[in-house]
Structures are given as structure tokens and as C-alpha cells.
Amino acid sequence: MAAHNTDRKDILTRKFLQVERSESGFDKACDAARKLALVLFGIDEDGHSDRIEFIRTTDCVRVDFHNLEMYGANLFVYTFEALVVRNVES
């Protein structure tokens, strides 16, 4: 998949979210965070949103890993920041 090259990226909205898991697994936590971000922003499988302004041709959902907290051996709390970013070409 090719990167979308633009001169500027505007952040339209952002939310912090947490994913709790009983076992370690960064890939699974990232996938859960991606799915949760789509639900929080109301974006369906066709790229439409009933909660935010989302333009399928210029906007993207970005999920950034923030940190991991480990409680004992059985609780892993992953914190992510979910953003809706608009690619603005000059």
C-alpha cells in the first residue's frame, strides 16, 4: 500500500482509548484499538460516519500506540490515541 503524500495533515479529532488484555499481544491489542476507533468515530466499512465529518478521499483514521501498563502477570493495559486526519494538498 502506497503512502499518501501531502504537504499538510490536519487533525480533525482525537480520542485516547484503552485496550485491556489478559495476555500480552501487541498485534491483537492494535487490531482491537483500530476496531474501537472506528466504532468511536462512527465509521462504517464503506467509510461513512454518522458522528463526524469524514471525507473518504482525504481523511484517514490513525491509531498511535501511547503506552503499556502491566499489572501482575495477567493484565495488560494498552493506551492508544485515535485520530482522524485530513490530508491537505497545497
- The pLDDT of residue 90: 67
Whole-angstrom Cα distance, residue 12 to residue 10? Answer: 6
Task: Flag whether 1 is in a domain.
Answer: no
Cβ neighbours of residue 23 closer than 8 Å, sequence gap 6 or more: 74, 76
Q: Which domain holds residue 57?
A: 8-88
Burial class (CB in 10 A: 0-12, 13-18, 19+), 84: buried
Task: Flag whether 73 is in a domain.
Answer: yes
**Global pTM value:** 0.85
- The pLDDT of residue 24: 86
Task: Flag whether 24 is in a domain.
Answer: yes
Task: Flag whether 2 is in a domain.
Answer: no
Helix (H, G, I), strand (E, B) or coil at 31: helix
Q: Give the H or E element holding residue 9.
A: strand 8-21
Task: Flag whether 59 is in a domain.
Answer: yes
Task: Flag whether 32 is in a domain.
Answer: yes
Which residues in the chain show pLDDT less than 50? 1
| Domain total in the chain | 1
Digit-coded pLDDT (tens) for 30-45: 999 999 999 999 999 9
What's the chain's Rg over C-alpha atoms? 15
